[in-house]
């Protein structure tokens, strides 16, 4: 069972990766200037106050000892307590994770729909003006970064034609019956389409801003590999059977052409998740990224560590999912 | 009347040189016609034109392709496709690239029956099983569930042959169907195609550069040079006495395995020069006429 083997190998490499990430983030945030104690105390605090507060958070111990305490905690599922909010880091981080996951997945779905549509249309009408127009649009989408798209969208659909909400995750006055923080999914499951619409109206622009550059990448790469696939013998053979151009693209070419794109989408999706940090800030969206920025501003060391570790877990999970999907889509890998 | 009748077909690279020069040929129902010539003579191009799979860089500049009396070139694309799909089929050159790697074999044989001809899926699957048995595949059920990469080249060519005969086409274009295969497999595949053709009484347009193959499989042949038919004859007449100097030289150039001491006979330069002059004269005639 190659899938089982992939999983085992991945589990091992993931553990090593996470250990590396833990070491780097722990020491780097302690080397950079600024410390949480200085942020907490009012001006004019005495040396004694500083020492007492440092001791309270264990920041007076040698670095290696602090690291040991943190790691042994993490191994037992205790990621420490946030310095600013005094709440367990794990609760804070897991509370925000659903918001970011929903945003990223919505952005990914949008990117695949937009990019896929661009690639298929471009392939169907290849060599003509339609393909040229798609190439130009792709180029534009690619050359503007996601946060600028965010500003453009806010201007267009938040200010000029205000159809979407420009900040937050849900209208604050609404009564939320949710038991999880997966608002988007839970509202669907509870058949509360009114809430769902409100949530989508909040998520639409940040998700689209994240999606546009990825859509352009998908569109370009998929179109390229579709066009190459269209010249292969099995596609020609399908034409002689009486299939029209659209059927040939969808039935014969798409699945084979999607494979190289999929690998890239996996890598790009992790960049997209990284992009949520700024986009969430821009749209005041209450996700992990927004929390990460606050944590850095406040030098909330345990919280920063927790968020970074969680991001690392997400990245490796995404890569694993891509590898598994690849195996499913490509029958040649299944019996390897 | 001939099932396939090509009249004065001219094809060229868009705004470029001619690839087929007023090609005419007929294939009667159940007849096998060989198309021979050097690489680039345009033999595959004729097959592609008939099946409507000329690359986009190539355009038809004149002539008719009459299939059962209807000129394919005058039909709207969708109708042309349907007509070709229902009555013609292709046995491709390279079995390793002609099957879709991400579909199982079964649907690749039944797709035309179900999607284009409207068969029910169970009927099409039964038919596929029969066909695989007919091309001497031992374990049809397993093969139908397999992916192409799990099968050998010879096996895949058998599948492609089975698939070509699936809808009982009136005409099959075989585009050098044995060139990509191992020598030992070539012979079996050739025999298989000839046998299937005879049993199903299918007209066959057999593209090859091997006159030996033509003598075994075909009844008629067209010899091409630079997109021009230089000789159109029955196989018996041709091998007894080729009329055109170029086809005679081509026949003489075929290695004689029975007499190794004879060596290889290249087509003489004078013959090439003569046939090239003929092509040039033809082009000039076109330009003036």
Residue A11: CA atoms inside 13 Å, Cβ hemisphere, count? 6
pLDDT of B48-75, one tens digit each? 999 999 998 999 999 999 999 999 999 9
Residue of chain B nearest A126, judged by CA positions: B56
- To the nearest whole Å, the CA of A334 is away from the closest chain B CA by 11
Q: Is B81 close to A237, i.e. CB distance below 8 A?
A: no
Domains and CATH numbers, chain B: 2-288 (3.40.50.300)
pLDDT of A201-227, one tens digit each? 999 999 999 999 999 999 999 999 999
Determine what percent of chain B is predicted with pLDDT higher than 90: 71
- To the nearest whole Å, the CA of B112 is away from the closest chain A CA by 6
Average per-residue pLDDT for chain A: 90
pLDDT of residue A334: 66
How far apart are the C-alpha atoms of A138 and A118, rounded to whole Å?
Answer: 8
Q: What's the sign of the alpha-carbon dihedral A6, A9, A11, A17?
A: negative
Of A244, A329, A332, the CB nearest to B149: A332
DSSP code for B150: G
How far apart are the C-alpha atoms of B111 and B121, rounded to whole Å?
Answer: 9
- Is residue B169 within 8 angstroms of chain A, CB to CB? no
- Whether residue B119 is predicted with pLDDT greater than 80 in this model: the reply is yes
Burial of B64 (0-12, 13-18, 19+ CB in 10 A): middle
- Is residue B84 within 8 angstroms of chain A, CB to CB? yes
DSSP codes of every residue in A217-243: HHHHHHHHHHHHHTTSHHHHHHHHTT-
Q: Is A242 close to B112, i.e. CB distance below 8 A?
A: yes
B101 chain-A contacts, CB cut-off 8 A: 234, 256, 331-332
- Is residue A131 within 8 angstroms of chain B, CB to CB? no
pLDDT of B186-204, one tens digit each? 899 999 999 999 999 999 9
Token look-up 């004269």 returns: B281
- Is residue B268 within 8 angstroms of chain A, CB to CB? no
Average per-residue pLDDT for chain B: 91
Q: Is B150 close to A335, i.e. CB distance below 8 A?
A: yes
More confident site: B288 or A95: A95
pLDDT of residue B181: 84
Q: Is B101 close to A256, i.e. CB distance below 8 A?
A: yes
pLDDT of residue A336: 44
Which residues 76-105 on chain A approach chain B with CB closer than 8 angstroms?
none
Q: Please list the alpha-helical segments (H only) found in chain A.
A: 2-31, 36-40, 47-56, 63-75, 89-124, 129-143, 146-153, 183-189, 193-229, 233-240, 245-247, 254-282, 288-297, 301-329, 331-334
- Is residue A124 within 8 angstroms of chain B, CB to CB? no
Of B99, B112, B147, the CB nearest to A234: B99
Q: Is B147 close to A332, i.e. CB distance below 8 A?
A: yes
pLDDT of residue A42: 79
A247 chain-B contacts, CB cut-off 8 A: 115
Q: Is A237 close to B92, i.e. CB distance below 8 A?
A: yes
pLDDT of A88-120, one tens digit each? 999 999 999 999 999 999 999 999 999 999 999
A242 chain-B contacts, CB cut-off 8 A: 81-82, 84-86, 112, 115-116
- Is residue B183 within 8 angstroms of chain A, CB to CB? no
- Is residue A327 within 8 angstroms of chain B, CB to CB? no
If pLDDT is split at 50, 70 and 90, which confidence band does A59 have?
A: confident
Q: What angle do CA A32, A93, A68 make, to 5 degrees?
A: 55
Of A232, A240, A255, the CB nearest to B85: A240
- Is residue B92 within 8 angstroms of chain A, CB to CB? yes
- To the nearest whole Å, the CA of A317 is away from the closest chain B CA by 26
Of B92, B100, B150, the CB nearest to A252: B100
How far apart are the C-alpha atoms of A166 and A201, rounded to whole Å?
Answer: 9
pLDDT of residue B287: 66
DSSP codes of every residue in A45-61: --HHHHHHHHHHTTTTS
Residues in contact with A132: Cβ distance below 8 Å, sequence separation at least 6, in sequence order: none
- So what's the ipTM on this one? 0.91
Of A231, A238, A242, the CB nearest to B86: A242
DSSP code for B196: H
CATH architecture of A97-290: Orthogonal Bundle (1.10)
Q: What angle do CA B205, B209, B213 make, to 5 degrees?
A: 70
Structure tokens at A116: 């896929």
Residue B231, strand partner residues: B223
Quick check: A93 and A308 in contact, CB under 8 A?
A: no
Q: Is A233 close to B98, i.e. CB distance below 8 A?
A: yes
Q: What's the sign of the alpha-carbon dihedral A276, A282, A286, A291?
A: positive
Candidates B108, B88, B7; CA nearest to B80 is B88
Residue of chain B nearest A326, judged by CA positions: B102
Residue of chain A nearest B171, judged by CA positions: A240
Determine what percent of chain A is predicted with pLDDT higher than 90: 65
- To the nearest whole Å, the CA of B248 is away from the closest chain A CA by 34
3-state secondary structure of A32: coil
Report how far Cα B44 is from the mean position of its chain's Cα atoms: 7
Quick check: B250 and B275 in contact, CB under 8 A?
A: no
pLDDT of B208-227, one tens digit each? 988 988 999 999 999 999 99
Q: Please list the alpha-helical segments (H only) found in chain B.
A: 43-51, 77-87, 105-111, 121-134, 140-145, 153-165, 183-200, 211-217, 235-240, 245-253, 269-288
Report how far Cα B13 is from the mean position of its chain's Cα atoms: 21
DSSP code for A154: I
pLDDT of residue A40: 77
Which residues 203-232 on chain A approach chain B with CB closer than 8 angstroms?
231-232
Of B78, B84, B99, the CB nearest to A240: B84
More confident site: A333 or A211: A211
- Is residue B45 within 8 angstroms of chain A, CB to CB? no
Quick check: B3 and B29 in contact, CB under 8 A?
A: yes
Token look-up 């087509």 returns: B267
A231 chain-B contacts, CB cut-off 8 A: 55
How far apart are the C-alpha atoms of A312 and A93, rounded to whole Å?
Answer: 13
* CA-based radius of gyration for chain A: 24
Residues in contact with B122: Cβ distance below 8 Å, sequence separation at least 6, in sequence order: none
If pLDDT is split at 50, 70 and 90, which confidence band does A1 have?
A: low
pLDDT of A136-149, one tens digit each? 999 999 999 999 99
How far apart are the C-alpha atoms of B213 and B209, rounded to whole Å?
Answer: 8
3-state helix, strand, coil in chain B (%, to 5): 45, 25, 30
- Is residue A242 within 8 angstroms of chain B, CB to CB? yes
Structure tokens at B275: 């046939």
pLDDT of residue A176: 86
- Is residue A331 within 8 angstroms of chain B, CB to CB? yes
Report how far Cα A311 is from the mean position of its chain's Cα atoms: 9
Determine phi and psi for B33, rounding to 5 degrees. -115, 130
- Whether residue A250 is predicted with pLDDT greater than 90 in this model: the reply is yes
Strands B88-91 and B2-13: unpaired
Q: Find the mean pLDDT for residues B93-122.
A: 94
A233, A236, A241, A258, best to mutate vs chain B, most B CBs in 10 Å: A241
- To the nearest whole Å, the CA of B35 is away from the closest chain A CA by 19
- A-B Cβ pairs (cutoff 8 Å, strict): 70
């Amino acid at each position: 069972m190659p899938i089982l083997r992939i999983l085992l190998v991945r589990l091992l490499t993931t553990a090593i990766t996470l250990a590396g990430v833990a070491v780097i983030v722990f020491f780097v945030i302690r080397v950079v200037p600024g410390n949480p104690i200085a942020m907490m105390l009012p001006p004019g605090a005495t040396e004694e106050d500083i020492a007492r507060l440092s001791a309270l958070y264990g920041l007076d111990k040698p670095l290696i000892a602090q690291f040991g305490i943190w790691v042994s905690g993490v191994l037992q599922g205790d990621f420490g307590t946030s310095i600013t909010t005094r709440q367990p880091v794990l609760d804070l981080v897991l509370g925000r994770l659903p918001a970011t996951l929903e945003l990223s997945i919505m952005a990914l779905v949008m990117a695949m729909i937009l990019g896929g549509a661009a690639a298929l249309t471009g392939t169907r009408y290849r060599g003509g003006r339609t393909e040229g127009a798609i190439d130009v649009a792709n180029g534009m989408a690619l050359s503007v970064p996601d946060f600028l798209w965010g500003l453009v969208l806010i201007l267009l659909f938040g200010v000029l034609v205000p159809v979407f909400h420009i900040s937050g995750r849900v209208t604050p006055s609404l009564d939320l019956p949710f038991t999880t923080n997966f608002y988007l999914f839970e509202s669907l499951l509870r058949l509360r389409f009114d809430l769902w619409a409100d949530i989508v109206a909040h998520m639409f622009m940040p998700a689209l801003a994240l999606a546009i550059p990825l859509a352009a990448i998908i569109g370009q790469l998929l179109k390229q590999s579709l066009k190459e696939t269209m010249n292969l013998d099995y596609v020609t053979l399908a034409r002689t059977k009486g299939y029209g151009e659209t059927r040939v693209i969808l039935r014969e070419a798409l699945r084979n052409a999607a494979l190289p794109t999929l690998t890239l989408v996996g890598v790009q999706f992790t960049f997209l998740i990284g992009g949520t940090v700024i986009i969430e800030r821009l749209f005041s969206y209450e996700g992990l990224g927004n929390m990460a920025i606050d944590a850095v501003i406040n030098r909330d060391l345990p919280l920063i560590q927790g968020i970074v570790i969680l991001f690392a877990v997400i990245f490796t999970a995404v890569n694993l999912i891509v590898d598994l999907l690849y195996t499913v889509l490509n029958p040649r890998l299944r019996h390897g | 009347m001939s099932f396939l009748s090509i009249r004065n077909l001219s094809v060229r690279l868009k705004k470029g040189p001619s690839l087929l020069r007023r090609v005419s040929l007929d294939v009667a129902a159940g007849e096998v016609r060989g198309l021979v010539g050097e690489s680039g003579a345009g033999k595959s191009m004729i097959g592609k034109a008939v099946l409507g799979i000329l690359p986009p860089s190539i355009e038809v500049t004149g002539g008719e392709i009459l299939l059962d009396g209807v000129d394919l070139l005058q039909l709207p694309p969708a109708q042309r496709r349907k007509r070709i799909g229902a009555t013609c089929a292709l046995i491709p050159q390279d079995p390793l690239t002609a099957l879709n790697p991400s579909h199982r074999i079964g649907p690749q044989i039944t797709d035309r029956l179900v999607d284009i001809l409207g068969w029910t899926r169970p009927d099409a699957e039964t038919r596929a099983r029969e066909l695989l048995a007919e091309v001497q595949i031992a374990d049809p059920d397993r093969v139908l569930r397999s992916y192409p990469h799990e099968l050998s080249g010879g096996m895949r060519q058998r599948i492609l042959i089975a698939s070509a005969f699936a809808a009982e086409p009136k005409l099959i274009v075989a585009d050098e169907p044995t060139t990509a295969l191992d020598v030992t497999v070539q012979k079996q595949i050739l025999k298989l195609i000839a046998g299937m053709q005879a049993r199903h009484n299918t007209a066959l347009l057999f593209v090859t550069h091997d006159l030996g193959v033509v003598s075994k499989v075909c009844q008629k042949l067209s010899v091409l040079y630079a997109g021009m038919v230089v000789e159109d004859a029955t196989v018996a007449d041709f091998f007894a006495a080729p009329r055109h100097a170029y086809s005679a030289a081509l026949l003489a150039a075929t290695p004689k395995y029975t007499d190794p001491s004879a060596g290889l006979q290249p087509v003489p330069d004078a013959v090439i020069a003569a046939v090239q002059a003929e092509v040039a004269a033809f082009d000039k005639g076109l330009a003036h006429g």
